[in-house]
């Protein structure tokens, strides 16, 4: 096999792996795999019509995103509701993000205020769910939600803290979607309006308390039994 053929084969494998990775990531986010469900490489390879090596490479990336676990001698699985990691992530966020918000309120200028207002407007005007497409947040709403929370904190001016926020946000995305599905009566819009209002009023204590409450409710949604239909 020539070097060109080798490169072509490698590129084709990478493209397939990327497609399978995106498929698995989206399927887990949409709730197509239940918490704790096994992700069997052999079954996935047959279902998607690709090689086992392609599926395993994609699964390793999904594990890296925190959307699956690699089990010793037992393959791969979606994390469970009861997984301690969700409460640990929530604890870390409740410790770090309120401090960042206080710094942001202290250091933010008028341009930051305008960005916060714009980010909240986008979030408020983006439907979190699409009728007939399930009870999980849409990708559009999830991105607007991320931008709003990050904009609140970005005036802290510390790139290391913001990088930490980015990692924690990614790690908690699946828990956030599960919590929303298990708490359909929660009024997140009211919580976000209060976050915007207290931040723009430069009331650091109230804003930090509101953020802690907001993060606590998300974690509590996974530690309490889901309401019965």
Q: What are phi and psi of 31, to 5 degrees?
A: 80, 15
Domains delineated in the chain: 5-78 (1.10.10.10), 84-220 (1.20.120.530)
For 92, what's the count of Cα atoms within 13 Å in the CB-facing half-sphere? Answer: 15
Amino acid 153: pLDDT: 98
User: Residue 66: exposed, middle, or buried by beta-carbon count in 10 A (0-12, 13-18, 19+)?
Assistant: middle
Identify the band that residue 227 occupies on the pLDDT scale cut at 50, 70 and 90.
very low
pLDDT digits (tens, 9 = 90+) for 41-99: 999 999 999 999 999 999 999 998 888 999 887 789 998 877 788 889 999 999 999 99
User: Regarding predicted confidence, which is higher, 19 or 73?
Assistant: 19
Question: Looking at the predicted structure, is the pLDDT value of residue 7 above 70?
Answer: no
Other Cβ atoms within 10 Å of 72 Cβ, number: 6
Question: Looking at the predicted structure, is the pLDDT value of residue 225 above 70?
Answer: no
Mean pLDDT of the chain: 88
Amino acid 160: pLDDT: 98
| CA 57 from centre of chain | 21
Tell me the C-alpha to C-alpha distance, in Å, between residue 129 and each of 142, 184, 185, 229.
Answer: 10, 11, 13, 19
Question: Looking at the predicted structure, is the pLDDT value of residue 5 above 60?
Answer: no
- For 39-47, the CB contacts below 8 A with 24+ separation are 39/68, 39/75, 39/76, 39/77, 39/78, 40/75, 40/76, 41/75, 41/76, 44/20
- Looking at the DSSP bridge assignments, the partners of residue 38 are 77
Question: Looking at the predicted structure, is the pLDDT value of residue 106 above 80?
Answer: yes
Classify the C-alpha dihedral 41-46-49-51 as positive or negative. positive
Residue closest to 158 by CA, chosen among 92, 210, 97:
97
Question: Looking at the predicted structure, is the pLDDT value of residue 179 above 90?
Answer: no
Amino acid 139: pLDDT: 86
Q: At what angle do helices 139-154 and 84-107 cross, to 10 degrees?
A: 50
User: Regarding predicted confidence, which is higher, 9 or 175?
Assistant: 175
């Amino acid at each position: 096999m020539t070097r060109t053929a080798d490169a072509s084969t490698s590129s084709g494998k990478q493209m397939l792996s990327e497609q399978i990775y995106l498929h698995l990531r989206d399927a887990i986010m949409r709730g197509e795999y239940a918490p704790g469900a096994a992700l069997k490489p052999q079954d996935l390879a047959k279902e998607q019509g690709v090689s086992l090596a392609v599926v395993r490479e994609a699964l390793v990336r999904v594990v890296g995103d925190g959307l699956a676990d690699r089990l010793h001698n037992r393959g791969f699985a979606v994390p469970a509701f009861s997984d301690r990691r969700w409460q640990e992530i929530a604890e870390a966020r409740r410790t770090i993000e309120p401090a960042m918000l206080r710094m942001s309120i202290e250091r933010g200028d008028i341009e930051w205020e305008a960005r916060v207002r714009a980010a909240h407007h986008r979030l408020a005007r983006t439907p979190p769910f699409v009728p007939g497409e399930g009870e999980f947040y849409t990708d559009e709403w999830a991105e607007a939600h991320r931008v709003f929370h990050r904009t609140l904190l970005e005036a802290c001016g510390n790139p290391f803290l913001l990088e930490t926020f980015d990692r924690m946000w990614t790690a908690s995305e699946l828990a956030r979607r599960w919590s929303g599905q298990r708490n359909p009566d929660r009024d997140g819009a009211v919580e976000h309006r209060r976050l915007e209002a207290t931040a723009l009023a430069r009331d650091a204590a109230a804003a930090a308390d509101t953020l802690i409450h907001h993060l606590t409710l998300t974690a509590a949604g996974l530690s309490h039994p889901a309401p019965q239909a």
